[in-house]
């Protein structure tokens, strides 16, 4: 663990209750929420650069930029998962069943081509699901993608489900796996990664187990269950992604007594070997508290850069609250430097 990550493990009853009260206020209806706008309204999406210098970063990390997106449209906000697409685009998915596709903010903000049509550099759309599931599949919490075919998978909460989509976002198939797990309805497939070897790793927001599928979980097959070893029980996993060297990065956050009532961190884990029952050992590497503006960071995506570096994007879920924002942060990381820091600690 690097010196920059100093997260205490001790908690009290009061320290757990007060943050929950703040969160309840933040999520309460009425004056706390956005002014409601109908889905069909095409509201502009604004982009603003943020210049709020934070604490120094450890070796192997650089902060490349921070931005805020905003819109009055009901389809905007609540983003809990994100994918890195081609042509310097990102796509975020919300817990209201929408997707937000946009050009990375440090790239030229010009329309891009999809098939024979041109698209706006920032636009939302309803994520259409397989017929018969529209009333149940809307709370999107995780996303992963096959870089070869462009197919992608979404994980849903409330109804524990995986849904596969084509590269053109056509609904292909669904698997409801609620009977296969003992997870609360509000703690579903919070993190999902299609691994480089074709397996799928799925981790709930809370709990001490992870699922590994030998292939596409929608296509069938029983999951291998492994334990999760993480020393900070007050943090919850919100997303995961795989580095080029095979290790896994985890985005995590906890509820605290502040406004907004969240702290976030980045953690890393080595993937257990094939056909073993070893636990997923997750260890923190970067405390984000003094580095980025506080908010409910739930989405993460990676894009390989030059000279062995990786661009790491994280995005916050504003919970449709006036107390929170839709923030996007870009880090550039050197996986080799991160590995050296872990070995040194």
Mean pLDDT is lowest, of 42-56, 166-180, 279-293, 316-330, for: 42-56
Average pLDDT across the chain, whole number: 86
Query: What pLDDT, on a 0 to 100 scale, did the predictor assign at position 95?
Result: 92
Please check the confidence at residue 197 and state whether its pLDDT lies above 60: yes
Residue 1 banded pLDDT, cuts 50, 70, 90: very low
| Whole-number Å distance between alpha carbons of 9 and 220 | 39
19: left (phi over 0), alpha (psi -120 to 50) or beta: alpha
Q: Domain 13-344: give its CATH architecture.
A: 6 Propeller (2.120)
Rounded to whole angstroms, what are the CA distances from 117 to 111, 112, 185, 282? Answer: 10, 8, 39, 43
Q: What per-residue confidence (pLDDT) applies to 148? A: 95
Please compute the mean of the pLDDT values over residues 230-240 and round it to a whole number.
91
If 0-12 CB within 10 Å is exposed, 13-18 middle and 19+ buried, where does residue 70 land? middle
Rounded Cα–Cα distance for residues 82 and 11 (Å): 31
64-121 residue pLDDT tens = 999 999 998 888 999 999 999 999 999 999 999 999 999 999 999 999 888 888 889 9
Say if CB 124 and CB 99 are below 8 A apart. yes
Q: What is the DSSP letter of 292?
A: S
pLDDT at 339 > cutoff 70? no
**What is the pLDDT averaged over residues 126-147?**
96
DSSP notation for 117-170: EEE-SEEEEE---STT-TTT---EEEEEE-TTT--EEEEETTTTEEEEE-TT--
For residue 257, the cross-strand partners are none
Q: How far is CA 95 from the centre of its chain?
A: 11
Neighbouring residues of 116: CB distance < 8 A, sequence distance ≥ 6: none
Reported confidence tier of residue 321, pLDDT bands at 50, 70, 90: confident
> How distant, in Å, are the alpha carbons of 200, 270, 291, 341 from that of 288?
27, 21, 5, 17
The pLDDT value recorded for residue 208 is 84
For the chain, what are the domain ranges?
13-344
Which among 230, 210, 239 has a CA at the least distance from the CA of 297? 239
**pTM reported for the whole predicted model:** 0.87
């Amino acid at each position: 663990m690097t010196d920059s990550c100093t997260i205490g493990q001790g908690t009290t009853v009061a320290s757990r209750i007060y943050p929950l009260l703040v969160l309840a206020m933040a999520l309460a209806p009425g004056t706390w929420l956005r002014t409601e706008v109908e889905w069909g309204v095409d509201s502009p999406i604004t982009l603003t650069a943020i210049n709020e210098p934070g604490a120094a970063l450890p070796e192997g990390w650089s902060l490349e930029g921070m931005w805020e997106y905003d819109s009055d449209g009901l389809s905007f906000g609540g983003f809990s998962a994100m994918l890195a697409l081609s042509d310097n685009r990102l796509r975020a998915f919300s817990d209201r069943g929408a997707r937000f596709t946009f050009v990375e903010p440090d790239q030229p903000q010009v329309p891009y081509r999809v098939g024979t049509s041109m698209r706006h550099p920032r636009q939302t759309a309803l994520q259409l699901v397989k017929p018969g599931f529209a009333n149940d599949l809307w709370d999107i919490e995780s996303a992963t993608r096959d870089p070869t075919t462009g197919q992608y998978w979404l994980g849903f909460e409330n109804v524990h489900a995986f849904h596969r989509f084509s590269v053109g976002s056509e609904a292909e198939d669904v698997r409801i796996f609620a009977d296969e797990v003992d997870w609360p309805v509000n703690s579903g497939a919070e993190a999902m990664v299609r691994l480089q070897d074709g397996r799928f790793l799925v981790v709930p927001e809370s709990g001490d187990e992870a699922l590994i599928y030998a292939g596409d979980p929608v296509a069938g097959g029983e999951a291998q269950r492994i334990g999760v070893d993480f020393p900070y029980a007050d943090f919850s996993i919100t997303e995961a992604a795989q580095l080029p060297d095979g290790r896994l990065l985890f985005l995590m956050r906890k509820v605290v007594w502040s406004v907004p009532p969240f702290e976030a961190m980045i953690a890393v884990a080595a993937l257990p070997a094939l056909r073993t029952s070893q636990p997923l050992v997750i260890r923190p590497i970067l405390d984000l508290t003094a580095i980025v503006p506080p908010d409910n960071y739930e989405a993460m995506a990676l894009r390989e850069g030059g000279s062995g570096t990786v661009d790491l994007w994280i995005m916050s879920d504003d919970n449709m609250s006036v107390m929170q924002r839709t923030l996007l942060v870009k880090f550039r990381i050197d996986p080799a430097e991160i590995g050296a820091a872990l070995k040194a600690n």
